[in-house]
Homo-oligomer: A and B are copies of this chain.
Amino acid sequence: MATTSAATAFALVQSELQTLEQILGEAARPSDPVMGQLLGLVLPGGGKRLRPLLALLWGRSHNHRRERLIPFAAALELLHTATLVHDDIVDEATVRRGEPTLSARVRNSIAVLVGDYLFAQAAAQAVSTDHVGVMRSFTATSMDIITGQIDESMSDGVLTLTQEQYLRRIGGKTAALFALSARGGAMLSDAPERVVFAAEQYGYKLGLAFQIVDDILDVVGDARDLGKPVGSDMRQGVATLPALLVRDQVPTSLFQAAYSGGGKQEESIRLLLETIRSRGGVEGSYAEADRLKADAYACLEVLPHGPVRDALLDLGEFVVQRVK
């Protein structure tokens, strides 16, 4: 299957995305020089800006209020970056997107404060939307995301985690922010409640699909493309859908050895990854992602046919596209 670039989606909001980059660039240059240096290590990022994209597209579902959408898009990307910085501390990750993580470059304690600063910047941008309802959604979602991270990092049930629990976990960790992005965009365009609700559902389902594909990539991806070694989730003790789907087909001892560290962990990870690939863990996960994408598409019925709806369909394809 050919890969898609979501070109339609990006093209529609190209000018807003450029303004967003300017704002993120300014955010990386605060008056304090020490803070500026540190932010310069994380903010350029080179991420895909998927969350801003969602907000900007749903922000065209009714009235297009550019001046409110841009700060909201910035708030989403800053919040996302803040959670990545703190996540890398929690996970003791040393590499992200092919670059050393901030917590690998500077003391952990400094990375804590840089993440805090990004959170505060995100909140400041959310306030700049001047829309109290959106601010409320923003802070509530922030709490959901952090709760999801705590739950992930406190539980160690790779042997007992159910698919339902897995979905709830990636819901908090990833889909909640996708849902906020779409919902907030719709709210800022003064869309009626049923559209706001559909936007939230679309974002949530797409976020789940996105995280599943991300989890698949950790099984089948190329370390160079991923920007981090394959099997990272196992090394961090985080069970994902591809593994859950084959758990019943492998010896418990192998499963445990792959997730719990110890001398034979690397060998066990290699073996378990191979098993996941050969026993349908990858295909089954893609099927689930496709189901979720279809659920997301169904939410688009509230929108008239036209460029915005087309772009959101395009974005869905982009998010769940298969690795060649």
Chain B hits for A19, CB < 8 A: none
Contact with B along A80-117 (1 / 0, CB 8 A): 00000010011110000000000000001110111111
Ranked 10 nearest A-B pairs via Cβ: A124-B139, A120-B142, A90-B109, A127-B135, A117-B146, A120-B143, A123-B139, A32-B147, A123-B123, A116-B146
Chain A residues within 8 Å of B, Cβ to Cβ: 30, 32, 34-35, 38, 86, 89-92, 108-110, 112-117, 119-121, 123-124, 127, 130, 132, 135-136, 138-140, 142-143, 146-147, 149-151, 153-154
A142 touches B127 (CB 8 A): no
Chain B hits for A92, CB < 8 A: 109
Q: A35-B150, A90-B110, A113-B149 known; 13 other A-B pairs, CB under 8 Å?
A: A32-B151, A86-B112, A90-B109, A90-B112, A116-B119, A116-B142, A116-B146, A117-B146, A119-B120, A123-B123, A124-B136, A124-B140, A135-B135
Chain B hits for A117, CB < 8 A: 143, 146-147, 150
B113 touches A86 (CB 8 A): yes
Q: Which partner residue on chain B sits nearest A131 by CB separation? A: B132
Assuming A112-B90, A153-B113, is B127 touching A136 (CB within 8 A)?
yes
Assuming A127-B136, A142-B120, is B108 touching A108 (CB within 8 A)?
yes
Number of copies: 2
Nearest CB on B from A133, distance (A) = 10
Q: With the chains together, A35 CA to B38 CA distance in Å?
A: 30
Nearest CB on B from A238, distance (A) = 13
Q: With the chains together, A109 CA to B109 CA distance in Å?
A: 11
Q: Which partner residue on chain B sits nearest A91 by CB separation? A: B109
Q: What are 25 A-B pairs at a CB distance below 8 A? A: A30-B143, A32-B151, A34-B151, A35-B150, A86-B113, A90-B109, A90-B110, A90-B113, A92-B109, A110-B150, A110-B153, A112-B115, A114-B150, A115-B116, A116-B119, A119-B119, A119-B120, A121-B139, A123-B138, A123-B139, A124-B140, A127-B132, A127-B135, A127-B139, A130-B132
